[in-house]
Chain A
Amino acid sequence: MSLALFLGFAVLLVLSALGVVVQRNPVRSALSLVATLFLLAVTFLFLDAHLVALLQIIVYAGAIMVLFLFVIMLLNLQAEPREAGRWGLKLFGTLAASLFALELIELARTKGAAPGGGMAGAVAEGFGTTEALGERLFTHFLLPFEITSVLLLVAIVGAVVLAKRKVT
């Protein structure tokens, strides 16, 4: 039963991801990406990643994509016109991306053995909860955590400086 559920969500994910790439209206692309992020959050729940799934919805779909939509509306971007004469580039890009994806799938198929606990084994009681993630984050990953806070500060200052209207 869970395999059928996974396959259903996988098909939906691929369709919404294709919707991001194919649609000519940038607002529709952004909304397709929001749908993709929500479907990915559900997939994370399948994998016992409870906090990461919630963060995906709150941070990715709820903050980053809202920022994208703000900018699209601010710049008042229209749907792109259908342009002729670029089919060669699109065909080459499609072939290159498909080849890349097929190579990765083949790699996953042959090398994805199941050492460790394995997908079938039940996880520990608190796997994927906030406590478990926090325990790893503040002990083993403390240095990257502090560096990430500096990164966020730099990003805030940089974004304000870049987007500010220069006073003439």
Chain B
Amino acid sequence: MVPVNYYLALSAVLFGIGALGVLIRRNVIVIFMSIELMLNAVNLAFVAFARQWHAMDGQVIVFFVMTVAAAEAAVGLAIIIAVFRNRETVNADELTLLRW
């Protein structure tokens, strides 16, 4: 029997690794994949709590998180394609349109 704290700690470590990827990588697609990693870490926490509390609500929320992640991935990748078409780069340092 694995205590729920272990699953939460694993979720925290995965979330930290995803946050690390968002902070130090310059390729926007790898940044995007790190965001997906963070979402999956949260899914693990939800499923662990659903198992602890013997309630299905945690898994239903994971269902919604997956759906939202799919929609976000589709729109985000479309944005990346559109930006690449104009700027020829996926380096976050060179995409400075919104900077003042």
Contacts and interface: CB of A to CB of B under 8 A. Distances in A.
Contact of B71 (A44, A77, A136, A151): A151
- Sorting the interface of chain A by its residue count into under 10, 10 to 19, 20 to 34 or 35 or more gives 35 or more
A77 B2 contact: no
A105 B70 CA distance: 28
SS class, residues of chain B in contact with chain A: helix
B17 A17 contact: yes
Given A60-B66, A151-B68, A37 B40 contact: yes
B10 A13 contact: yes
Contacts of A90: 24
Contacts of A63: 70
Given A94-B20, A151-B71, 5 more contacts: A17-B14, A17-B37, A20-B30, A118-B52, A123-B51
B40 A60 contact: yes
Contacts of B62: 49, 52
Interface of B: 1-21, 23-27, 29-30, 32-34, 36-37, 40, 43-44, 47-48, 50-57, 59-60, 62-64, 66-75, 77-82, 84-85, 90
A68 B9 contact: no
Contact of A105 (B12, B19, B37): B12
Interface in A29-83: 29-30, 33, 36-37, 40, 43-44, 46-49, 51-52, 55-56, 59-60, 63-64, 67-68, 71-72, 74-75, 77, 80
A167 interface: no
Contacts of B33: 20, 29-30, 33, 68
- Centre residue among B1, B11, B14, B24 by max chain A CB count within 10 A: B24
A109 to B, nearest CB: 5
A76 B54 CA distance: 46
A84 interface: no
Given A112-B8, A148-B64, A158-B75, A101 B13 contact: yes
Given A21-B17, A56-B66, A67-B77, A105 B9 contact: yes
Contacts of B18: 17, 21
A117 B52 CA distance: 6
Contact of A101 (B16, B53, B78): B16
Given A60-B66, A64-B70, A21 B20 contact: yes
